[in-house]
Amino acid sequence: MRKLTQGNEAVFRGAVAAGANYFAGYPISPSTEILNVASGWAAEHPEFRFLQAEDEIASANAIIGASLAGAKSFTATSGPGFSLMQEAVGYAQKVGVPCVFVDVQRVGPATGMPTMPGQGDIMQVRYGSTGDYSPIAFYPNGAEEAFRVTIEAFNAAEESLSPVVVLSDTFVGHLNEVIDLDELAAGIQVVPRTLVPLGKHEAGRPRFFAGVLMYEHGPNAGEPATADADEYLRQFYDAKHRHAEVARRYALYEHGWNRDAKVLIICYGIVSRVASPLSADYALFRPIRIHPLLAEELRAISDRYQQIVCIEANDGQYADMVELALRREVKRVPLLGGRISLEAVRDGLDRVLSGGPSEPPIPPAPTEPVERSPLGVG
């Protein structure tokens, strides 16, 4: 049935379509609708477990516990909450726990601007936790895609045995689109549970899930390997290769608009919707699988364009990765402070394509009192 669906709700419904049966979360704008919908769903579906945790640290660790116990689990938050979850993300990477983290971004750092859209968590997803790991992350640009991509995220989590991130932003999360969820769900395969749940292990061989290095196989299984670099290498590269192989199967992106144009725009999430009126004059590369970088796909198309411009609501986080991978200059149009508008995109493109700086002209601070908003803030 076609129905007006909000981006955040589409993420939740996608999770359920993927077989999710556990949600833990803590209220935070602009992701809170996911928590609200989850609590209502749990009230009507007792097999779906819900926890409103005391903080994001508890939410992240709860979905890890739930996943180990056999549930397909997920949480939703925004940038500041995702910062609190980073240690748990690293734990899930080390232990190999399939689960999904949804980050509906707002302007940061710190408390930032809770109601303004931003895309400042691209690098937090990649490098936020301590140590080395290779995360898989997706970033849809609308409600329909949010639904589909969330299902794919759960599938990738099961196949890679790792926490997979679904990025979103204030606009995508609060966008309402008419979509037919049932029809969409019918076209997507769901990967069943992979990790053997707690207590259903091979008899006589109970497992020890630890964030420290332990031997996993052979006669030493279950014993600490804290002084064995070779064991670290075995486990690290095993996970790295597994994640890369799974990521290859989910190489989702869009290469479109005017492919004969001389300039390639790279943008993702809501920025790709805002910039779409420029479709006649520019080519578009829109990564949906945002991590790991779609390097091969970019290399295959980049040579035909004279210039590459990355437009993103951060100070060039994705552009850095692209530049490094292509070893050529990538111009940047940073849309900062929540100013994600066609005008800002146009101005930025004109500026950088005519050899100007990425930093926009900034007017001096007001000398007169600024009129306060009726809400008394800002």
Partner 1 sequence: MPELAFAELGFKERLKVDLFPTIWCPGCGIGTIMIQLAMVLDEMGMNETNTIIVTGIGCTGRMGSYLKHESVYTLHGRTLPVAEAIKQVRPEMQVVVVSGDGDTASIGGNHLIHAIRRNAPLTVLCNNNEIYGLTGGQTGPTTPTGTKTLSSPAGNPNTPINLQGLVRSSPHALYAKTTVYHQIHMRNVIREAIEHPGFSFVDITSQCIENNGRRIGFASANDMLTFYRKTYKRAPKDATELARFEIGVLYPDGHATNGTDGAATAAPAAPAAAPEAAKAKPVVDDEEKARRRAESQKRLALMQRLDPEVKLRVAKGELTLAAALLEAGIDPDGAA
The answer to the question of residue 212 lying near partner 1 (CB under 8 A) is yes
Residue with Cβ nearer partner 1 (8 or 67) = 67
Interaction of residue 206 with partner 1, rule CB under 8 A? yes
Q: Which is nearer to partner 1, 127 or 208 (CB)?
A: 208
Task: Assign 3-class secondary structure to 268-289.
Answer: CCHHHHHCHHHCCCCEEEEECE
Annotate 203-240 with b (16+ C-beta within 10 A) or e (fewer): eeeeeeeeeebbbbeeeeeeeebeeeeebeeebbeebe
Separation of alpha carbons 134 and 116, rounded Å: 29
Q: Calculate the alpha carbon distances from 7 to 40, 150, 179, 236, 269 in Å.
A: 17, 11, 11, 35, 12
Residue choice 210, 244, 300, 324 for contact with partner 1 (CB under 8 A): 210
Q: Does 20 bind partner 1 (CB under 8 A)?
A: no
CB 152 within 8 A of CB 185: no
> Whole-number minimum distance, CB 283 to partner 1, in Å?
45
Binding piece for partner 1, criterion CB under 8 A, among 193-201, 297-305, 323-331, 360-368: 193-201
Q: What are phi and psi of 360, to 5 degrees?
A: -75, 160
Contact with partner 1 (CB under 8 A) among 62, 76, 102, 266: 62
Residue 69, judged by CB atoms within 10 A of its CB (0-12, 13-18, 19+), counts as middle
91 binds partner 1 (CB under 8 A): yes
15 binds partner 1 (CB under 8 A): no
Contact 328, 177 (CB under 8 A): no
Look at residues 190, 225, 13, 27 and name the one whose alpha carbon lies nearest to residue 98: 190
Compute the least distance from the CB of residue 370 to partner 1, in Å. 38
The CB-of-9 to partner 1 minimum distance in angstroms stands at: 23
CA distance 328 to 323: 6
Amino acid at 312: E
In the complex with partner 1, the residue whose CB is nearer, 68 or 345, is 68
- Write out the two tokens for 78: 């925004």
Among 61, 78, 134, 155, binds partner 1 (CB under 8 A): 61
Dist. CA 40–CA 148, nearest whole Å: 22
Among 197, 256, 277, 357, binds partner 1 (CB under 8 A): 197
Q: Of the candidates 63, 100, 179, 321, which one interacts with partner 1 according to CB under 8 A?
A: 63
What is the size of the binding site for partner 1 (CB under 8 A)? 42
Supply the minimum distance, in Å, between the C-beta of residue 22 and partner 1: 6
Nearer of residues 55 and 132 to partner 1, judged by Cβ:
55
The contact mask relative to partner 1 for 213-232 (x = CB under 8 A, - = no) is -x-------xxx--------
Q: Which residues lie near partner 1 (CB under 8 A)?
A: 21-22, 24, 49, 51, 53-55, 57-59, 61-66, 68-71, 73, 87-88, 91, 197-199, 201, 203-204, 206-212, 214, 222-224
